[in-house]
Amino acid sequence: MTEITAHHGLLKDINLHVDDTGGSGRAVVLIHGWPLSGESWKYQVPALVAAGYRVVTYDRRGFGRSDKPLTGYGYDTLTDDLEAVLTALDLRDVTLVGFSMGGGEVARYFTKYGTERIHSAVFASAVPPYLLQTPGNPDGPLTAAAAAQMTAGLTANQDSFYDDFTTQFFSVDGTLVVTEEQRQEALALAKQASKVAALEAMASFASTDFREDLPRVTVPTLVIHGDGDGTVPFEGSGARTHAAIAGSELQVVAGGPHGVNVSHADEWNRVVIEFLAK
């Protein structure tokens, strides 16, 4: 465990909590979803280490064990945080794995920093290309009314909101497909988030347009998504991301909810490790 300071010019420097398994294997950087932390990868880290990889996870600013500033939750700054982690650890030939909100940092990274450090990329149940439904983005799966309802719910009562959110996160057609213990673990991670950070990050992942970023992803890419995802529906997100990235591979997990890396951990790990070996 270590703390890495991200420097942002006029923005206040912040410390990011990082877990690095070390070792001589090629690095895989796992970027967690909203509103969780790096601990949400507990089913992936041992499997990836066993396959010979060096695994790095970190807590996004405002979440988990990282600093919780009042500002800096736009994707440009969040992507600068990712670059700070890669630079501080001198990581090269890296695979970036972005789950849900974390797929946004992966997409924006290629626009801001190119491919010099990157070997490949994985978009896992990820929010690109553009969640919010607008006249210019009619296929966006998140309506303005639904986004407003989420904001209002979190603002009014975060405990109730997170309880409902984690239930949907792991459900398919209204049925929870993980154990209650697994849902409670995710709920505990959500409650570590700063409320300011959670609201600001929610606005960012809902309203950021990654359609110009995706064509810049020119490394080998895997898109993996559950077909029962009710949080970030596949047709409006994963399917469109796959179509936008030339040569990308697609794996749809049958019966998978949003939190498919927990519900279908063995299948998810197998698919990703097979991709990494290519």
- What is the set of active-site residues? 100, 229, 258
Could you give the CA distance from residue 252 to residue 179 in angstroms, rounded to a whole number?
Answer: 22
Q: How far is CA 224 from CA 11, 100, 234, 251, in A?
A: 34, 11, 9, 5
The reply to whether omega before 69 is within 30° of 0 (cis) is no
Could you give the CA distance from residue 3 to residue 20 in angstroms, rounded to a whole number?
Answer: 11
Residue matched to tokens 């001198």: 90
